[in-house]
Chains A and B, each alone.
Chain A
C-alpha cells in the first residue's frame, strides 16, 4: 500500500520550458514534504521542502506547491536545464510514536529528461 505515489515514471521536457513533477499521498498525518534529486551512481540529495501549513515554497528555479485538500504536491522547475536531468523523489514526513521520531516515506521517483 503506497502512501506516497509518483504516477509518472518519466517526463521529458525541452530546455527552457517548465518541468512539473507530481506527487500524491494518502496519509493525512504527513506534515512535511521533501523533494530529493538523484543522479546515476550517486545517492539522493535534498532539493526543497514544504511544511503542511504552507501552500508554496520557492527556491530559485524550484517551487513546490502543496494542496492539502487534494493530498497533492508538485515540483515546478523553471526554466528547465539539461543539468536538471535526474530522478526526482517525493518524500513525506510523519511522526511515528513507536520510534519517537519522524520518519520519511518515499515515492518511486520520476525520471526527468531535459532535452537541449
Chain B
C-alpha cells in the first residue's frame, strides 16, 4: 500500500460527459502528479501540483483540468469526453516539488471507460 488513494476505481460514462477523479496523497506529501496510461502506452504525464499551486504541465488536453485543495487532495476533471479518453488515470505523490531522485508513490489508478 503506497498510501496514495484514488476514487473511484472504475468509471463508465458516455461521450460528451464530464467526470471528476479524486486523489489523496500520502500523508505529508505536498506534490501531486496526474498520469494517463492508454492502451499500449506508457505513463503520460499530465500535470503536477505542489502545495496547492500548479507546477508543471505535460500532455494535458484543454478539456482536462485539475486542482489541489488546501487539504492537499487533488481532483482531475475531464470534460467533453471522447472515446479516446478511455484509459487508466494514475495519481502519484512525492514529498518534494520535484527533486532529482523524484521517487513518486502511485495510487492504484482509476479506470475510465467512455462508451
Contacts and interface: CB of A to CB of B under 8 A. Distances in A.
B90 interface: yes
A60 interface: no
A41 B108 contact: yes
B100 interface: yes
B5 to A, nearest CB: 10
B102 interface: yes
Contacts of A91: 43
Contacts of A6: 42
Given A4-B42, A103-B48, A93 B56 contact: no
Nearest to A92: B102
B105 A101 contact: no
Interface string B40-62: 11111100101000011010000
Q: Do most interface residues of chain B lie in helix, strand or loop, or is the interface mixed?
A: loop
Given A32-B100, A44-B90, A101 B50 contact: yes
Contacts of B35: 106
A108 B56 CA distance: 21
A43 B2 contact: yes
A105 interface: yes
Q: Do most interface residues of chain A lie in helix, strand or loop, or is the interface mixed?
A: strand
Interface residues of A, number: 32
A32 B101 contact: yes
A42 interface: yes
A100 to B, nearest CB: 7
A42 B45 CA distance: 18
A46 B100 CA distance: 14
Given A43-B4, A46-B105, A103 B56 contact: yes
B42 A101 contact: no
Contact of A106 (B43, B48, B97): B43
Task: Sort A-B residue pairs by CB-CB distance and give the 3 closest, nearest first.
Answer: A101-B98, A43-B106, A99-B56
Interface of A: 4, 6, 9, 31-32, 34, 36, 41-46, 49, 51, 89, 91, 93, 95-96, 98-109
